[in-house]
Structure formats: structure tokens, C-alpha cells
Amino acid sequence: MEFRQHRLENGLQIISEINPRAYSTAIGFFVNAGARDETPEIGGVSHFLEHMVFKGTPNRTAEEVNRELDEMGSHSNARTGEERTIYHSTVLPEFQNQAVELLGDILRPSLRNDDFEMEKKVICEEIMMYDDQPPFGGNEKLMASYFGDHPLGQSILGTVETVTALTPDQMRTYFTQRYSPDNITLVATGNVDFEGLIQIAQEKCGQWAKVDSPRVITAAEPNLQQQCIEKATASQQYVLQVAPGPAAEDDDRYPARILSAIFGDDGGSRLYWEFIDSGKAEYAAMGVYEFQSAGLLMTFLCGNPESTEANFQRLSELQKNLRADGVTESELELAKAKTASHIILSSERPENRLFAVGSHWLTRQNYLTVGEVANRYNSLTIDDINTVIQKYPLQPANSLAIGPLKTMSFG
Amino acid sequence: MPWLESVAFAASIPGGCQVDPTNRLGLGNFTCEMVQRGCGDRTSRQFVESLERLGTDISASVSISHSNFGASMPAASIYNVLDIFKDLVRSPHMPEDQLEEGRSVCLQEVSAIEDDLSQKTLIELRRRSYPQPYGRSATGTADSIAAISAADIRQYWESFYQPQEMILSVAGKTDFKRLCDHVETIFSDWKPKSIEKVEQKPTETGHFHIDQQSNQTHIGLSYPSVPYSHPDYFRARGSVGVLSDGMSSRLFTEVREKRGLCYTVYASMHSMKERGSIIVYAGTSADRAQETLDVTVAEIQRLSRGIQQSELDRLKVSIRSSLVMQQESSRSRAASMAGDWFHLGRVRTLEELTQIINSLTVQEINHYLAEHPPQNFKLVSLGPTPLEEPSGVSTASA
């Protein structure tokens, strides 16, 4: 494995982790654009734009874009989050430059009005689809409640109302600001021809005009409250809870992730033995989510409505016990073994490395090998974990219940 | 696969949910839950923790025809993990004092499906697409799970957890000779049992609607096809690929791109040992559901007028690319080898599969489609209002 990097004059960065033994090449354009860059009036524009990027360019119709992606036998997709939008494609090495040329082309989309109105319908279908699925919009409502007016409280998809009200001009303005080349990193992993990559990126992206538009980062002031939202058609009751955690820049994220493996992963953790193994709940887990300048410890619990209050109380007890007693050596050793194995197994696919290497770079502008990442976890001590528990206790938290219950006591 | 650091196994034990007694639906699934609660000299907790120490966990599920277990792990762990797996299948504790916990886990699975509307739709569709018991869902119902006793579970285990026709597939960084020797030591003294033939009952007929207050209407549509072992399988697979593989496929283009009717629409092959179907799904807002159904059915029926060379060319590249990339995952290779062995009694190498795909022609696929036009559709919808059957989606039984 070899790491290489390069920067075009207009600020676009190119990074690559090269593994000549890999069978595939994964390519991704990582754009620093996401829901946190939106104002409430244009809620959902980042995600809508992600769809519009596939709708054609001055050089290609939408049909041609789709057809060419398939002609390379590529596994291509895009995803939008709070902080970034990623366009990615995994191909056989022989198609590397063709894939970069195509993705590079669609990143300067035409954004035609007719396509905009047609795709709006698909976006509204997507919003309605998620609204019908557990936890029935609970996640968005929780984030909005926790973050209040802070931009991290923006829903990624937006609502049917905000998306319907969006105009093509609003999207074009947003595009010009956020898709400036200094907000974009081209990441490639697996069997990469790095010289070829730089050359095609220079040809395709070298002319993109830079617009000075750094992300505005403001500190979040979390709201801690409880609410129960009735969803009469649901069968199960869903409880979501969020408390402050380490931010993406914070090295506490390593012990926090080990903590989540000990306390709340979906096999062998304390929550697993308490709720899943016993059949008391359908699902119970705690995970770590990191953003620039803000982090979250998020807990999820779902099961039959009639047992929800008792389960919630038990969850609160487990959280209190964790803070009072910390974790044990044997829990730490197991969590390290799990985490190390997971890191090594998941790194076999260039596509998985793409997201790991790219996300790490976007946040920190540095690169860690798989071994270095594994070492970060392996060198943690029990004091590191217990310190992070005191620093980021799971209570007090913002809790939200959604399901058949009209009201619920949060104890 | 010496270029990997991992190894994975996939094990399929014949039985599955097709052998659940009709008044004990979900028994195979409940048994699968109970065998994971301690085995050999390990308690339930020691079982999970020993696997964690080895950097793995065993996933388990029950299909129509098998109880399936699988895991991927760092290469060095395989022998120890197989030892634990041996105890899981041969000497599980199935502790009676954990019976109610196990039952609750199974009941939670049933409740979860109630909130998963697309899955609920597809479960009902499969039930109506095959003769019973082949259309069953492994989860059973709240009532049938309530009726299951510890003795039922022990009996299921005694009858079906046995080596006759069991498949153990291993892929990744491994030494085949040493592996065989090891499997020999842990399984050679395991006594096989014969399995009774499953009795087949007729398929339910007719269009079915599940009333649900939801934003979207979920549409499940199926029509008969051939199983994986059939000589026509790849011709049928080719036609489904034209319909649904990739962003330039017909369904994606006509239903989503041109009309904006759906976020999700797809078709896929569903194959059992002796029968197969093509399963189609679309989810769309209730007021556009009828149009979605009509357009989807029209696209499927248009298949019988033939496919284009360019469509097949794209499909070939896509499948070839997936086959090459399968070499980067021990887990997916192990699973597909187990599938081959079950359906064909042998494993197709990636070279052989590539050869089959490369040799497909438009003429043979079109000939197949002309001879076997999509028909005898089964339709299941779920949403606030029932849909009208387009022509061709009659209540005709297969």
C-alpha cells in the first residue's frame, strides 16, 4: 500500500491509497457540501442537488450518463450527509480514467428546469418512503430538537414542503458556492494508476473556477428535552436518545468508539445482553456520530409499546452504572479484538477503504494506514475509556419516543 | 484466495421452514435462535465471547430449505471457529430456562415486520407465488410461536441438525488439505438421518390488497420463471438484467427517470431448488400507484418483444465486473459456492460463469422470451387504496 497526494492549481485535492494487488479501483469525488451548509429556506437542497448531478451536462444527456456508468460495469452511487456529498464508482482498473472523466463531467451539471421538476417528484417519493419506515422521521425530529437552530439540526432530505418550494436558481447559487474545486477532493483506492489519475483530473477539473466559500462553523448549544410523538399506525415503539460526544477533530473519538462496542453494539455489548438476548426489545444499540465541532452519542431502543417504559428505565440504570463503575479489563480486551478484526476485514475491499480514507482526509487532512488505525484502538487503556465516560456521560440526554403510545414517562 | 487476509464459511443445513409443522410455523427459526444459547462447554455468554476473541460472530438465518450459518474472520481463526460451530450444531444446550427469552426474540421479529411495509408486502407476495410450504416466511406468526414447546425445538434439532446433504463452504486464505483434515475430525462421526419429503399444497390465487394508512403504496408483483439449475436460467436472468440491472435498465428509465413515479423500483430472480419466480417491487405515493403499476407491467410485457444488443452488452460488462470483484470478498464467495452446491451439486468457477455470461446472445434470450412471455402475474399491494389489475395481471393461477 502506498499513499500519494496532489493538488490542482484551483485547489482540488487528489489523494490515493494504492494497492496494486487489488482487483478493483474505487473512485470518489468527496464534496464539502451537506445539510449543515443549508439555511432552512433551502432545506434538502444538498441532497436534491446530488440527484440533479446525474441529470446531464453540456456534454451528455441523463440517459447517456446512466448508460455510460453501466457500460463500464461500474458500481456507482452517491450519498449526501450532514457535511459531505460523495459521488463514487467502483470499477475494474481498466476503466479508471473513463470513470473519473464521467464523474468529473457530471460534477458540472446542466441543472435544467425540466429535469429539476421531474426529479422533484422522485425526491418527494423518497421523503414519503422514509416517512413510512421506522423510526418514522424520529431521527430528523431528534436532531432538530437537539440542535435547535444550529445547522446540524437541518434534515438531510428536507421536507415535501421545503423541496417543493425550491427553485432551480436557489440550487444553482448553492452549487456555485459549495462545489468550488477547493471544496472537492478526488479520492481513489485499490488498483490505482496515480499518474493517469492526476492527468485526467487536470484535464477534466483543472478549469473549474474557484469561489471562495469556506464552511461557517458555529458552536452548537444542545437542547436536552423529552418528547413522545404518537404514530398510531406503528406497531413497535421507537425511542431515540442523543447526548454530547467527541467531535470529529477530537482524539477522544477512539475511546468513544470502543466504549460504544462495550456498551452498545449489536452483539455482545451490555445493551445486547440486557435487551436483545433476553428478547425484551427488538433492537437496542448505542453509536458514535462525529461532525466538525460537534459529536453525538446516540442510543436507539425499540420494542413492544407495553414494555417500552420499563425498558427505558432499565436503560437509564445501565447508563448510570456505566458512569459510576466504568468498564472492565475483559470488556476492553473483547472490544479491542472485535474492533481490530472489523477494521482489517472491512479494509479488504477498495470501496470500503475509499470511505475510510476519504472521510478521514476531509476532516483532518492526513492519512492513516489500516495498521495505524488498528494501533490507535489497541493502545487504549481502561483509563482512556473511563475518562471519556466521565467527559461524555450518556445522561442528561435529549430523548424522543415515537410509536403507538400517546404519552410516555421518561423517568 | 491467498491474496486475502480473511476467510469465511457458509454452512447450510437442510430443513429450513418448509418442514415446520403447519401449527408450529416459525419452529426452525426458533430452534436456530435456541442453538445459539450455549453449546459444548460454553454458556451462552462464553459462546459469544469466544467468537469475539477470534474476531468474528456467527450470523444465522432460516430460509425455505435450510438453516444457514456463516461468518468471516481473520484467516488464523478458522479452525477455532469451526470447533465452536461444531458444538453449536452438534451439542447445543437449548436451555429450557431461556426458552421464554428465545420466544420473545422470535416474537420481536414478527412485530418488526409489521412496521416494515415493503417486507410485509413481499412476504405476502411470496406466499401467493408458490405452492405451500414453499412460499412461507420463516418467522411464523405470534400464535404459532406461542404454541412451540421446548420438546418441539429439541425434536426439530434432532431431526434436522444432521450432516446428510449439509453444505459447508469455505473461501479465503486457507489451506484446503488442512481444512479437510480438520472438518474430518469434527464431523466424521456425526450420524446422518434421512429427511422426509415435503408435502406440497396448492398455491393461493388472486390479487391481494393489505389495507394500511401509509404515504406510499407498496406494489409486489411476481411471475413464474425457472430455478438456478435450469438450462434457461441465464436467459431469464438476462431478461431481468435488461429490466432492472443498473441505472440504464428499463424499469429505472421508464418508471423513475422519465416519469418520476418512484424512488425504488426493481426486479430480481428468486430461485429455489425446483422452482423460481421473478419478483418485482415498486413503492410510490398512493395517488400515483395505479400509474406505476400500469407502466411497470407494460415494461415487463414489452420484454417479450425482445431486447437489444446494446442492453445485453452492458449487462455482460456489469456481471463480469461483479464476478471479478467477488474475489475481494471471502464472505460473498463462500455464500455463492454454497448456493452453487445446493442448486447444482457442484461449484461453478468464476471462469466458468464468465464463459456462460460471455456466450449469451440476444437471439437466444429473445427466443426464450418469445416462448415464455411474462404472464400469470401475482399482485400484492399494501396501502390506503386497492389497485385495479392491469390486463395480464389476472387472477389466473399458475
**Cα angle, residue B171 at apex, residues B169 and B177 outer, rounded to 5°:** 80
**A404 class by beta-carbon count within 10 Å (0-12 exposed, 13-18 middle, 19+ buried):** middle
Judge: B252–A66 Cβ closer than 8 Å, yes or no: yes
In Å, how far is B251's CA from the nearest CA of chain A? 13
- Cβ-Cβ pairs closer than 8 A, A with B, add up to 177
Buried b (16+ CB within 10 A) or exposed e, A337-361: bbbbbbbbbbbbbbbbbbbbbbbbb
**Is B19 in the same domain as B140?**
yes
Cell for A105? 463531467
ipTM of the complex: 0.92
The position carrying cell 462495550 is: A262
- From B106, B321, B329, residue closest to A73, measured CB to CB: B321
> B44 contacts in A (CB within 8 Å)?
277
Judge: B112–A128 Cβ closer than 8 Å, yes or no: no
Cell for A317? 440504570
A23 interfaces chain B, CB cutoff of 8 Å: yes
In Å, how far is B33's CA from the nearest CA of chain A? 10
| Cis peptide leading into residue B21 (ω within 30°) | no
* A302, A283 Cβ separation under 8 angstroms: yes
Structural domains of chain A ordered from first start? 2-205 (3.30.830.10), 226-403 (3.30.830.10)
pLDDT at B393: 64
* Interface mutation vs chain B, best among A341, A346, A353, A354, most B CBs within 10 Å: A341
Closest CA to B5 of A347, A232, A206: A347
pLDDT at B397: 35
Chain B residue nearest residue A20, CA to CA: B3
Closest CA to A18 of A198, A254, A202, A182: A198
Kindly state the helix (H) or strand (E) to which residue B90 belongs, with its residue range: helix B78-90
* B140, B110 Cβ separation under 8 angstroms: yes
pLDDT at B392: 62
- From B109, B215, B257, residue closest to A131, measured CB to CB: B215
CA-to-CA separations, A373 to A25, A251, A370, B7, B54, in angstroms, rounded: 22, 12, 5, 21, 19
DSSP, collapsed to helix, strand or coil, labels residue B61 as: strand
> A66 contacts in B (CB within 8 Å)?
246-248, 252-253, 257
**Is B140 in the same domain as B42?**
yes
Considering the domain boundaries, does residue B389 fall inside one? no
**Is B144 in the same domain as B20?**
yes
Chain A residue nearest residue B217, CA to CA: A129
> B262 contacts in A (CB within 8 Å)?
122, 125
Closest CA to A327 of A282, A369, A368, A286: A286
Chain B residue nearest residue A303, CA to CA: B108
* B40, B87 Cβ separation under 8 angstroms: yes
Provide the residue-wise pLDDT of chain A in tens; the chain has 411 residues.
999 999 999 999 999 999 999 999 999 999 999 999 999 999 999 999 999 999 999 999 999 999 999 999 999 999 999 999 999 999 999 999 999 999 999 999 999 999 999 999 999 999 999 999 999 999 999 999 999 999 999 999 999 999 999 999 999 999 999 999 999 999 999 999 999 999 999 999 999 999 988 898 999 999 999 999 999 999 999 999 999 999 999 999 999 999 999 999 988 999 999 999 999 999 999 999 999 999 999 999 999 999 999 999 999 999 999 999 999 999 999 999 999 999 989 999 999 999 999 999 999 999 999 999 999 999 999 999 999 999 999 999 999 999 999 999 997
* B71, B168 Cβ separation under 8 angstroms: no
Q: Give the domain extent around B336.
A: 208-383
> B111 contacts in A (CB within 8 Å)?
235-236, 282, 303-304
Residue window 96-135, chain A: list those with CB within 8 Å of chain B.
118-122, 124-126, 128-129, 131-134
- From A71, A278, A345, residue closest to B101, measured CB to CB: A278
pLDDT at B64: 95
CATH number of the domain residue B19 falls in? 3.30.830.10
* A11, A207 Cβ separation under 8 angstroms: no
- Radius of gyration for the alpha carbons in chain B, expressed in angstroms and rounded: 22
**Is B236 in the same domain as B372?**
yes
Question: Which residues share a beta bridge with B11?
Answer: B69, B168
Instruction: Find how far residue A368's CA is from the centre of its chain.
Output: 19
> B249 contacts in A (CB within 8 Å)?
70
**Is B216 in the same domain as B252?**
yes
The dihedrals phi and psi of A332, each to the nearest 5 degrees, come to -65, -45
Q: What is the pLDDT of residues B74-94, one digit of tens each?
A: 999 999 999 999 999 999 999
**Is B144 in the same domain as B238?**
no
- Pairwise CA distance, residues B365 & A191, whole Å: 35
Considering the domain boundaries, does residue B371 fall inside one? yes
- Pairwise CA distance, residues B127 & B284, whole Å: 22
A91 interfaces chain B, CB cutoff of 8 Å: yes
Judge: A23–B284 Cβ closer than 8 Å, yes or no: no
pLDDT at B206: 76
DSSP-derived pairing of the beta strands B378-383 and B208-211: parallel
Judge: B216–A345 Cβ closer than 8 Å, yes or no: no
Considering the domain boundaries, does residue B300 fall inside one? yes
DSSP-derived pairing of the beta strands B276-285 and B264-271: antiparallel
- From B253, B259, B324, residue closest to A23, measured CB to CB: B324
Judge: B285–A124 Cβ closer than 8 Å, yes or no: yes
Q: DSSP letters along B313-358, please?
A: HHHHHHHHHHHHHGGG-HHHHHHHHHHHHHHHSS---HHHHHHHHH
Cell for B33? 435462535
Cell for A335? 472490544
Provide the residue-wise pLDDT of chain B in tens; the chain has 398 residues.
988 999 999 999 999 999 999 999 999 999 999 999 999 999 999 999 999 999 998 999 999 999 999 999 999 999 999 999 999 999 999 999 999 999 999 999 999 999 999 999 999 999 999 999 999 999 999 999 999 999 999 999 999 999 999 999 999 999 999 999 999 999 999 999 987 778 888 887 778 999 999 999 999 999 999 999 999 999 999 999 999 999 999 999 999 999 999 999 999 999 999 999 999 999 999 999 999 999 999 999 999 999 999 999 999 999 999 999 999 999 999 999 999 999 999 999 999 999 999 999 999 999 999 999 999 999 999 999 999 888 666 543 33
- Residue at which a domain ends, from B157, B187, B217: B187
**Is B150 in the same domain as B278?**
no
Question: How many CB atoms are closer than 10 A to CB A21?
Answer: 9
Question: Which residues share a beta bridge with B380?
Answer: B208, B220
Residue window 241-300, chain A: list those with CB within 8 Å of chain B.
267-268, 273, 276-283
- From A66, A125, A349, residue closest to B284, measured CB to CB: A125
CA-to-CA separations, A88 to A16, A77, A159, B284, in angstroms, rounded: 14, 6, 26, 27
Cell for A333? 480486551
Closest CA to B84 of B102, B101, B60, B61: B60
**Cα angle, residue A397 at apex, residues A391 and A398 outer, rounded to 5°:** 145
* B253, A118 Cβ separation under 8 angstroms: no
Number of domains in chain B: 2
**Is B14 in the same domain as B133?**
yes
**Cα angle, residue A77 at apex, residues A71 and A80 outer, rounded to 5°:** 155
- Pairwise CA distance, residues A137 & B108, whole Å: 21
Judge: A70–B216 Cβ closer than 8 Å, yes or no: no
Closest CA to B392 of B372, B369, B375: B375
Q: Give the predicted TM-score (pTM) of the model.
A: 0.95
> B317 contacts in A (CB within 8 Å)?
70-73
- Residue at which a domain ends, from B158, B187, B216: B187
In which region does residue A56 sit, left (phi positive, over 0), alpha (psi from -120 to 50) or beta (all else)? Answer: left
Chain A residue nearest residue B108, CA to CA: A282
* B99, B150 Cβ separation under 8 angstroms: yes
**Is B177 in the same domain as B263?**
no
> B246 contacts in A (CB within 8 Å)?
66, 69-70
* A96, A192 Cβ separation under 8 angstroms: yes
Residue window 231-250, chain A: list those with CB within 8 Å of chain B.
233-236
- From A24, A280, A337, residue closest to B55, measured CB to CB: A337
Judge: B216–A132 Cβ closer than 8 Å, yes or no: yes
pLDDT at B200: 82
> B109 contacts in A (CB within 8 Å)?
282
Judge: B6–A119 Cβ closer than 8 Å, yes or no: no
Question: Which residues share a beta bridge with A291?
Answer: A294
- From A122, A128, A278, residue closest to B215, measured CB to CB: A128
Give the list of residues 6+ apart from residue A145 with CB closer than 8 angstroms, or none: A153, A223, A225, A227, A398, A400
- Residue at which a domain ends, from B133, B152, B187: B187
* A19, A86 Cβ separation under 8 angstroms: no
Considering the domain boundaries, does residue B197 fall inside one? no
Residue window 167-226, chain A: list those with CB within 8 Å of chain B.
none
Chain A residue nearest residue B316, CA to CA: A73
**Is B144 in the same domain as B51?**
yes
Considering the domain boundaries, does residue B199 fall inside one? no
Judge: A125–B216 Cβ closer than 8 Å, yes or no: yes
Judge: B260–A119 Cβ closer than 8 Å, yes or no: yes
Judge: A341–B73 Cβ closer than 8 Å, yes or no: yes
Per residue, the 3-state secondary structure of chain A, as one string, reads: CEEEEEECCCCCEEEEEECCCCCCEEEEEEECCCHHHCCHHHCCHHHHHHHHHHHECCCCEHHHHHHHHHHCCCEEEEEECCCCEEEEEEECHHHHHHHHHHHHHHCCCCCCHHHHHHHHHHHHHHHHHHHHCCCCCHHHHHHHHHHCCCHHHCCCCCCHHHHHHCCHHHHHHHHHHHCCHHHEEEEEEECCCHHHHHHHHHHHHCCCCCCCCCCCCCCCCCCCCEEEEECCCCCCEEEEEEEEECCCCCCCHHHHHHHHHHHHCCCCCHHHHHHHCCCCCCEEEEEEEEECCEEEEEEEEEECHHHHHHHHHHHHHHHHHHHHHCCCHHHHHHHHHHHHHHHHHHCCCHHHHHHHHHHHHHHHCCCCCHHHHHHHHHCCCHHHHHHHHHHCCCCCCEEEEEECCCCCCCC
Cell for A278? 433476553
Chain A residue nearest residue B218, CA to CA: A129
**Is B175 in the same domain as B269?**
no
Q: Where are the beta strands (DSSP E) in B239-342?
A: 264-271, 276-285
- Pairwise CA distance, residues B299 & B251, whole Å: 7
Judge: A70–B57 Cβ closer than 8 Å, yes or no: no
In Å, how far is A53's CA from the nearest CA of chain B? 13
Considering the domain boundaries, does residue B202 fall inside one? no
**Is B171 in the same domain as B303?**
no
pLDDT at B202: 80
